[in-house]
Homo-oligomer: A and B are copies of this chain.
Amino acid sequence: MSELRRDPICGRWVIVDTDHSNKPEDFEYEPQSYKGGTCPFCYGNEAMTPPEIEAIRDHSTAPNTPGWQVRVVPNKFPALQIEGELDRRGIGIYDMSNGVGAHEVLIETPYHQKDISDLLDTEVENFLSMYCRRAIDLAKDKRLKYIMIFKNFGAAAGASLEHPHTQLIALPMIPKNALDEIRMAHNYFEFRERCIFCDIIRQEQQEKERIILENEHFLSFCPFVSRFPFEIWIMPKKHNERFCRISQENEIPSLASILKETIARLKIVFPNLSYNFIIHTSPVNGDGGVEGYHWHIELMPKLTRVAGFEWGSGFYAVSTPPELAAKYLREKQ
């Protein structure tokens, strides 16, 4: 019989198929592939993007020329734009605002065909540090309330460009899912005077069966209430409400190492897999209310299509229990 599991963070129920669990070979997924063509994110094509905002590059090189290791540019087709006053208003029962915000693209590496698992540790550290720098810089604009950092890798995961990149969207309001998570985590904190994420880490460390990897500062595991087969969370062991407060000296190298190794294992089990990850963190420029929140990364491999059931209900059915997924990933090296 299948199991129903309830996410303690946002109250979502998930059906876990423990009877006819899917093994890795049971998934038919669309493999990520490189089609070629001129890439605006490759060396020599810097003029194809809007001028760079920030970069890590050789000292002898000029902005918007080759010689960079990480490069941040405005999105050429931004979902939101930084200019203009925020103008919230109602139209009858509806609410709207003009599209004030920011939309940046962070090119992680000059190498078109290298996924995170193919990079050197220091290269991963570089782009993770740049995530922080951009988040801190964007948060200086007091109109902005939430900085979302996410990566779509592969066409099946919604990436419109092949070259590895991450997007940063700064929003003038807190998105619903973040608000739900923060509220529930805060309720738990009020009730128990403990962080729910710290409690999850403790329970996962005790039970061990869902852990993929652990290093000095981070835990990589398949969450008890996975929405997708082989879903992975990477969580800092030290309580920290906000991603950009991460220690550059100690935690960034530890995160780079666990992120790279987790993706490497995932891609041994599923070659050329597409995936998304998102950094879940506290809002910025707010009036508090993030007590008991704990930043983390949620990584979703693109193994299945999401159908009507999930969309309609927020009620997911997952065909590989996280205990089994973690076992496959733990044993691959």
Given that A178-B313, A315-B175 are contacting pairs, would A308 and B150 also be in contact in the complex, using a CB cutoff of 8 Å? Answer: yes
Q: Write the chain B residue with the least CB distance to A8.
A: B93
Contact pattern, A 195-228, Cβ under 8 Å of B = 1, otherwise 0: 0100110010011000000000000000011000
Contact pattern, A 149-173, Cβ under 8 Å of B = 1, otherwise 0: 0111001111100000001010111
A59 part of interface (Cβ distance < 8 Å):
no
Contact of A175 among B13, B92, B173, B199 (CB under 8 A): B13
Contact pattern, A 291-321, Cβ under 8 Å of B = 1, otherwise 0: 0000000101000111111011111010000
A99 part of interface (Cβ distance < 8 Å):
yes
- Report Cα–Cα, A108/B296, bound state, in Å: 44
Q: Would you list the 9 A-B pairs with minimal beta carbon distance, nearest first?
A: A158-B307, A278-B312, A276-B308, A2-B99, A177-B314, A175-B313, A175-B315, A6-B95, A150-B308
Contact B306 A93 (CB under 8 A): no
Given that A93-B196, A308-B152, A308-B157 are contacting pairs, would A177 and B6 also be in contact in the complex, using a CB cutoff of 8 Å? Answer: no
Contact B173 A4 (CB under 8 A): yes
- Report Cα–Cα, A148/B310, bound state, in Å: 11
Total chain A interface residues with beta-carbon distance under 8 A: 73
Copy number in this complex? 2
- Report Cα–Cα, A243/B327, bound state, in Å: 44
Interface of A is mostly: mixed
Which chain A residues have a beta carbon within 8 Å of chain B's beta carbons?
1-6, 8, 10-13, 15, 17, 20, 77, 79-81, 84, 92-99, 148, 150-152, 155-159, 167, 169, 171-173, 175-180, 196, 199-200, 203, 206-207, 224-225, 276-278, 280, 298, 300, 304-309, 311-315, 317
Give chain B nearest CB distance to A230 CB in angstroms. 15
Give chain B nearest CB distance to A261 CB in angstroms. 21
Sample 8 A-B pairs with CB under 8 A, ordered by A number: A11-B179, A15-B80, A17-B79, A92-B199, A151-B308, A159-B307, A180-B314, A306-B306
Chain B residues contacting A98 (CB-CB under 8 Å) are 1-4
